[in-house]
Structure 1
Amino acid sequence: MMLKKNPALTGCICGAAGFAVAAVLVITLVSTSDKKERNSVRTEQALSDIEDYIISNVNADNIRNFLRYMTLKPHLGGTLGETELAGWLASTWEEQGLDEVHLVPYEVLLSYPSQDLPNLVRILDASNQAIWISAAKQKPLYAPEESLPEIPFTFNGYAAAGNATGEVVYAGYGREEDFKFLEENNIDLSGKIVLARYGHIFRANIADMAEGRGAIGVVLYSDPSDYAPEGSDIVYPNSYFMPPSAAPFGTVKLKDGDPLTPFYPAVESAYHIPQDEAPIPKIPVQPISYEDAWHILSRMGGVEAPSEWQGDLNVTYRLGPGFQQQDLRLNLDVNNIYQQNITHNVIGIMKGSVEPDRYVLVGNHYDAWILGAVDPNSGTAAMLELSRVLTQYSKETGWRPRRTLVFCAWGSEEYGLLASVEWAEQFGKQLADRTVVYINIDMAIEGNYTLRTKSAPLLYDAIYSSAKKVPNPDPEEVAAGRPTVYDTWAHRRPDPRQPDMPLMQFIGSGSDYKSFQHNLGIPCTDFRYTHDNKTLGEPMYHTLYETFELVDEIYDQGFEFHKAVTVLWGDLAVVFSEMDILPYSLRAYADFIARAYYDITTQYSALIASKNITMEYFGKAVENFNSTIITFEGNLQNVDFENPLQVRKINDQLMMVERAFIDPLGLPGRPEYNHVVTAPSKKDAYSGTAFAGLTDTLVAITEASEDQLDDLWRTFSHHLAAVTHFLNTAAKVLTDDLW
């Protein structure tokens, strides 16, 4: 549905400011010939004007006001609250003056708690009487909206309805190694209820591994040692640490997108698989608070848990199975319901003046488990302010981006990236062919300590360059001689391998960049301001207490950190929409791949050699990729920037590099992931792993029984050949040769 199309503004200012500082491909390679001078000077001054305008005009009060409005009430995916917010976002973009605004609907399978029957965890005695019952909701502590009647009962998305009773087993953080530890200690999970801690891996992986081992239910909680390390008196609303009554929501569906229309968009013509075939848990799963978890842990029997599994609940953590009082059992009662509801993407477009068929995507999801002041609406508020500034600049100057800017507000992300996956499935051919970058902000802040960035290697240098231009929002850091966001990032979160550089993390899954990076081969990044690593994550993540007051009074008084993220977001978006030659970091990609190759061969060379499998071709492909990049960069010195076809050809070759790593067959046993270089580990969808198809298979080989080894080695050999092929293909697309 298109709400309105405004008359296209005319005029174009093409360019790249701060170009010399950027240390990106074009400037480091282009000589000072007349053609290069004309290109860099033209682009540098024009983009400098836009960058200065963004820095001067992003308004922290506007971001604050946007966030205040969006967090007045719950807006869970597929509900009336989400639909109303989608309409407001569309109207806001229409008023700002974007050329087009679209509401894009998808009918998807969603999961909600019953409005009448809460999900409860009970301890039952021998007569099946409850001697303790968990809280149905998180109790209000501070902000008025915490008491709204629309606040749902506590639940995990897609957890199966069911009533399970049995012995409980404590499984630490629910990682693969934790479950193996239980197995090695002869603790069988079959017919048991697993109690596990949030913090180290994706909760859906915990549920999946528990179900695969025969567990009949899972209870999840956040331990105060991980999320309230300074004691019970220093928690929300007095600090950002987790209060005892907090119970984080979250999906326990492992595969992304609509469960009933895998690999295809959930549009009217879609075929829906039967629900019992959908990749969703078949056992009940439920989050509880740590004050409730105490009642379970304090009664548990069995041997003491390992020291690293001990927490701060003032009890001795034991493994079970069962309780010290042997006639007690744990009961898990989950009453979730499934519904097929409509969720919307809101898409706003600012058309490019030179290459309107090349897209720079900027996006954030707008649905939230409850109020969502941190995740995601700190990011939504920043995106609305960015679009306001850029449309205002266009009105004042006549500027149009060289390439089309596409603003994306995604629906139902929290359930497993639903609407962004469906959009990528529906429009994947156009997007894969035309999109130069996707810049995602899942949330603008989860703290105020330093920047945290996940990225495809192709974007490294551009991100470093833009971060060097953004004024530091931390006055103490400025006083210490670190005037930019980059300076604090490099100081507080250095790369262990290159201590003079800031840490750039792998891009795994867990946010809306998944389909673009891992299925379509579009280079993606996601960044935010984060905390100081005192906790395993943002302590209020997905809880009732993720309120506007938390942000306004504790995380970001004055909203200056939001402003810094908005400026960085805007600078990157404009750089990629304006520069004649796309500022991709080919050398960084070559280094990334070479390091990954080194790590694999160092760790597994003896194991691989034991099967007479050669890594020679893989190594030669790595070298070929690197040498081709050196030649390509040298040839850039001869680019005629006045020849639009030559510029287009260079950019097309650059865009094809990331696409070249897309295997249409997917990774081994994982057709939902196609990128052979950057992909999340099979054991943790939140983390990213270089060459995950190879490393996951090698890990499986080290853990397999004898009768499984032949198939696993065949899988490894097959995928090794595929990876080698795609590396050679990525090198070849940077040449003019057919073969």
Structure 2
Amino acid sequence: KEQSKCKISSIIESSLCPFNGEPHSYTRFSLTQNMEGDNSQVEMKLSSDMDEEVGGNGMEEHLIHSSNGKPYVAQRFGCTPKNLCFMAAATLFIFTIGCLIGYLAHSKRDLAPGSSVSMLPSEETDTIKTGAAPHMDWDDVIKLLAKKFSATKFESVFSEFASNSHRAGSPGDEALGNKVLKKFEEYDMNTWTEEYFVKVQDPPASGYNRFIFNGTEGYPNGFLSYSATGRVTGAVVFAYYGQENDFTLLRGKNINLSGRVVLVRAGKISFAEKVANAAKMNASAVLIYPDPTDYSIGDNTPLFGHVHLGSGDPYTPGFPSFNHTQFPPVQSSGLPTILAQTITTGMANSILRKLGGQSAPREWKSYYNNLGNEKDVITVEVNNVLTEKRINNVFGVIKGFVDADQYVVIGAQRDAWGPGFATSTVGTSVLVELARSISDMVKNDGFKPRRSIVFASWSAGEYGSVGATEWMEGYLSSLKMKAISYINLDGVVAGDNRFKVAASPLLHSLIESTLKEVNFTQFSQVTRGNWESDVLEPLKLDNAAYPFLAFSGIPSISFRFAPSNADYQYSGTLLDTRETLKRVTGQQIPQLAETAAKFAGHIALRLVHDHLLRMDVTKYDKIIRTQVAQINGKVKNVKRLRPELLPKALTVQWLISASGSYSRACRTLQTDIQNIDYDDIAMCRLINDRIMMVERNFLSPYVSPKDSPFRHILLGSGPHTLTALFNHLEALRTNNPEADVDLFRNQFALVTWTIQGCANSLAGDIWSLDNEI
């Protein structure tokens, strides 16, 4: 009889805890161990919220095992036949209900996928819930977000964060950082700051920078940080915007550029690229001025900027500028070796009107027509001073409820050369308002993001994204595994005629859907059919989002409201004020800031809300195929015109095969998404990990981040890129003395295997890899 009772008790216990004692999500177990023996006690409650007492005796229902391991549930509940029958019936009833629920859930999942599957999770998945965190419908999320912003609110925020003096490392910069930190704390966010000691170059405090031309001296107030210092003398040559094709044109006119002082317009490309291009031509110095055809800022407005062909502190390339680090003296390969200085429009005109030499090309002509000759001698003197500054980055985080260790980063530059209202004040204000709004959604409206959001206020952005890059260098190994995306808020409001977006191709489909959700009716180029050609633009070297993408391999996005047919003319000047931006935007700053906040908020929330990341890996497939086809055509051309250069055994087939492997990996991912169970948190995580690794795997593992920081083979810069491969083939075709067949073959092999490696990672398991190569 006792054996029968124990068998029945064991059956009941097994029914309540069927998987080797592992609890379901609706049970709570408390395990305690008797330290004087092996007796154990297991407490079970059918609801995690249930604290009721049973029978008024203050004892909870539980199962207790005796010292020999046999349960005596009958002793606790009473072993009458009536009780045993009741418990058996209850167990059978629970089991039956569980089977029915499981069957219905399985049937629903079988019917969910459609016959046509996108690389992105479908809209139907928005309503699927998980046991880990309540899943709010996406339509409810964006309605909540829209209610949080108002144009009138932005007016007061602008006033709070506006400052006439907040250059990096200054008391004004630190005061603004403390204001941002205080706001994050008010929103109940987890906050922290990080301190760096960086080397930057400032104009001489007691001396001056100057030039001497035809006996006339000029003393510009603007400057270019990280210029080489010293004094040079050479003949002036006008080189338009200082782009590579501009110098090629001059060389085609048999103009010797060696030792010359190059005078170029601001615009088109960054200051750093202009100086680097001039250095390749063996020029001795570069003078940069704002031409009246591009800038309406007057004759005497100084320009400020930097000429580091890279980002971050150039004296700690590849590693962070923490105070406790002890590294040998080193500097970035992107530091210029020639002098660089900005001059005003009036100073440039006084030089241009006196130049002789050949006539400028027709498309170059504006007010003055000559390029300069050997008699137009000028002396340039740069005495900038290298100083160390302490800067602080400020952070706040909203933690996710499922994959808290994965996060979207939203950042804005806090410093500026002068008032910097469009450059930094508007972006900082949008950052703070986004933090307030999303925090409020989590705290008061029941929104529970699956992943985390990190809000970052950067310092030393004007010196080349120094604060942001130092942070990336300090946590590169962690960021490449955890950071989902970077959203840049610098300069988001700079006009009211056009809306432009620069981003990783992985985000293009998400951008398209966001443009449909946010009201852009006042911008016709957004609502027209071909949005990509009208809205998208390349991500430039001097954009703060560029190092996140090309250095760290984090899918990034930067966007802005811009003036018609031009860029914002007042960046890098002391005229970047609230009054100037009001005039440029037609008094629409608060309304445009509200729309910018909604656009950034939609992008961020979509990435932290969905089960699967909304990133379209097929976009890169098209880019790779296009560039591989161009290289294939160029190889055939070189073999036809100069067959002695490339060996007959060299074939593009390997590169084509690698491209095909990436295409097949995309289809493999498509199949896995089609078959996924969205309630399976672990499987969703695995799919997302594969998507996140795409951008990282396009960083060439064969070059040093110190020597070639922008290692992305498709969007970066350097000899490791597909663009460099194509250009090297052109150099071979034209018998350029810098061309090197062996170097080309090495580049060719490494690029091929970088693409193949990305395809292998995207394909998933090791047994799913494509072994054609």
TM-score by length of 1: 0.81
User: How much has 1:503 moved relative to structure 2?
Assistant: 4.2
- Which of 568, 572, 575 is the equivalent residue of 1:538? 568
Q: CA deviation at 1:729?
A: 2.4
Deviations 1:250-278, CA, capped at 9 Å, x for gaps: 11111222122111111134244436787
Q: CA deviation at 1:47?
A: 2.5
Pick from 53, 60, 71: which aligns with 2:151? Answer: 60
Q: Secondary structure at the match of 2:468?
A: helix
8 Å contact kept, 1:24–1:584: no
1:379 aligned to which of 390, 415, 427: 427
Is the 1:36–1:641 contact (alpha carbons within 8 Å) kept by the matching residues of 2? Answer: no
Pick one of 218, 227, 237 that aligns with 1:133.
218
Q: Which structure exhibits the higher relative contact order, with contacts defined as CA atoms closer than 8 Å and separated by 6 or more residues?
A: 1
- 1:724 is displaced (CA, Å) by 4.1
Structure 1 residue 560 and structure 2 residue 591: aligned?
yes
What CA distance in whole angstroms lies between the structure 2 residues aligned with 1:390 and 1:668?
Answer: 35
Deviation of 1:295 (Å) = 0.4
Evaluate the alpha carbon distance shift between residue 320 and residue 78 of structure 1 in structure 2; reply closer, same or farther with a 3 A threshold: farther
Deviations 1:189-242 (A, max 9, x none): 333321111222221122123234333321101212233xxxxxxxxxxxxx43
CA deviations on 1:601-621 (whole Å, 9 max, x unpaired) are: 345542267424311122222
1:402 to 445, 450, 465: 450
1:356 shift after superposition: 0.9
Q: State how far apart, in whole Å, the 2-side matches of 1:37 and 1:157 are.
A: 52
1:304 deviation in Å?
1.1
Bigger mean CA offset, 351-360 vs 82-91: 82-91
* 2:619 alignment partner in structure 1: 588
Partner of 2:693: 656
Corresponding residue for residue 570 of structure 1: 601
> 1:515-530 counterparts in 2 under 5 A?
515-530=547-562
Report the alpha carbon displacement of residue 371 of structure 1 after superposing the two structures with TM.
1.8
Structure with max Cα Rg: 2
Structure 1 position 319, deviation (Å): 2.9
1:203 has 2:271 as partner? yes
Taking the aligned partners of 2:626 and 2:163, their CA distance within structure 1 comes to: 47
Q: Paired residue for 2:81?
A: none
Partner of 1:89: 180
In the alignment, structure 1 residue 737 sits paired with structure 2 residue 768:
yes
- Bigger shift: residues 658-667 or 426-435: 658-667
Q: 1:115/1:694 Cα in 2 relative to 1: closer, same or farther (>3 Å)?
A: same
Displacement of 1:166 in angstroms is 3.2
1:109 and 2:162 aligned: no
5 Å-filtered alignment, 1:604-683, equals 605-607=636-638, 610=643, 611=646, 612=648, 613-666=650-703, 671-680=708-717
Amino acid at match of 1:408: A
Indicate conservation of the 8 Å contact 1:111/1:336, yes or no.
yes
CA offset at residue 651 of structure 1? Answer: 1.4
> What pairs with 1:704-723 in structure 2 (closer than 5 Å)?
705-706=736-737, 708-723=739-754
Contiguous gaps of at least 5 residues in structure 1: 1-19, 137-152, 228-240, 324-328, 478-486, 497-501, 683-688
The 1:669/1:435 distance shift into structure 2, 3 A limit, reads: closer
Helix, strand or coil at the partner of 1:606? helix
Contact 1:628 1:734 in 2 (8 A): no
Q: Which residue matches 2:368?
A: 315
Structure 1 residue 578: Cα displacement: 0.9
Match of 2:539 in 1: 507
2 CA distance for matches of 1:251 and 1:517? Answer: 21
What secondary structure does 1:226 align onto?
A: coil
Deviation at 1:696, TM superposition (A): 4.2
Deviates more, 1:600-609 or 1:283-292: 600-609
CA deviations 1:271-291 (Å, max 9, x no partner) are 444367875233331111222
Q: Residue 60 of structure 2 aligns with which residue?
A: none
CA distance in 1, matches of 2:325, 2:705: 27
The alignment status of 1:190 with 2:258, answered yes or no, reads yes
Q: Quick one: which amino acid aligns to residue 678 of structure 2?
A: F
Identity rate, percent: 25
Q: Does the 8 A contact of 1:621 with 1:724 survive in 2?
A: yes
Change in CA separation of 1:361 and 1:154 when aligned onto 2, cut-off 3 Å: same
> Quick check: 1:556–1:562 contact (8 Å CA) kept in 2?
no
Answer with 515-524 or 285-294: which moved more: 515-524
The one-letter amino acid of 1:421's match is T
Q: Which amino acid aligns with 2:512?
A: Y
Residue 579 (structure 2) pairs with residue 549 (structure 1): yes
Does 1:158 pair with 2:192? no
TM-align CA RMSD: 3.0
CA 1:488–1:184 in 2, change beyond 3 Å: closer, same or farther?
Answer: closer
Give the structure 2 partner of residue 51 of structure 1.
142
- 1:302 deviates by 1.0
Q: Is the 8 A contact 2:494 2:584 kept in 1?
A: no
Q: Is the 8 A contact 2:525 2:535 kept in 1?
A: no
* Alpha-carbon distance, 1:704 to partner: 5.3
> Is contact 1:662-1:676 (8 Å) kept?
yes
The question of whether the paired residues in 1 share the 8 Å contact of 2:563 and 2:584 is answered with no
Structure 1 position 249 matched with structure 2 position 304: yes
Separation in 1, partners of 2:735, 2:572: 37
The runs of 5 or more residues in structure 2 that have no matched partner are 1-113
1:297-335 Cα offsets, whole Å, 9 max, x none, are 001111111112212xx3334333343xxxxx4232322
Q: Which amino acid aligns with 2:262?
A: V
The amino acid across from 2:697 in the alignment is: A
Contact 1:450 1:493 in 2 (8 A): no
Report the equivalent of 1:369. 417
Distance 1:721 1:618 in 2: 5
Of 195-204 and 207-216, more deviation after overlay is shown by: 207-216
Shift in CA distance, 105/584, structure 1 to aligned 2, threshold 3 Å: same
1:181 paired with 2:229, answer no
Matched, 1:265 2:320: yes
Are residues 1:601 and 2:626 paired?
no
Q: Any idea what SS the aligned residue of 2:511 has?
A: helix
Give how far 1:570 is off: 0.3
Task: Specify whether residues 115 and 247 from structure 1 end up closer, same or farther in structure 2 by C-alpha distance, changes over 3 A only.
Answer: same
- Whether the aligned pair in 2 keeps the contact of 1:368 and 1:414 (CA below 8 Å) is yes
Q: Secondary structure at the match of 2:379?
A: strand
> For the Cα contact (< 8 Å) 2:690–2:762, is it kept in 1?
no
1:331 to 375, 379, 393: 379
Distance 1:693 1:584, change over 3 A: same
1:76 aligns with 2:161: no
Q: What secondary structure, in the 3-state scheme, does the structure 1 residue paired with 2:421 have? A: coil
1:201 partner letter: I
Aligned counterparts of 1:405 and 1:316: Cα–Cα separation in 2 = 54
In 2: Cα distance, 1:361 partner to 1:70 partner: 21
TM-score w.r.t. the length of structure 2 is 0.77
1:424, 1:668 → 2: CA distance? 12
Query: What is the rounded CA distance, in whole Å, between the counterparts of 2:239 and 2:414 in structure 1?
Result: 33
Partner SS state of residue 364, structure 1: strand
Q: Report the counterpart of residue 723 of structure 2 in structure 1.
A: 692
Matched, 1:425 2:515: no
624 and 463 in structure 1: CA distance in 2 versus 1, 3 angstrom threshold: same
* Alpha-carbon distance in 2 for matches of 1:700, 1:346: 47
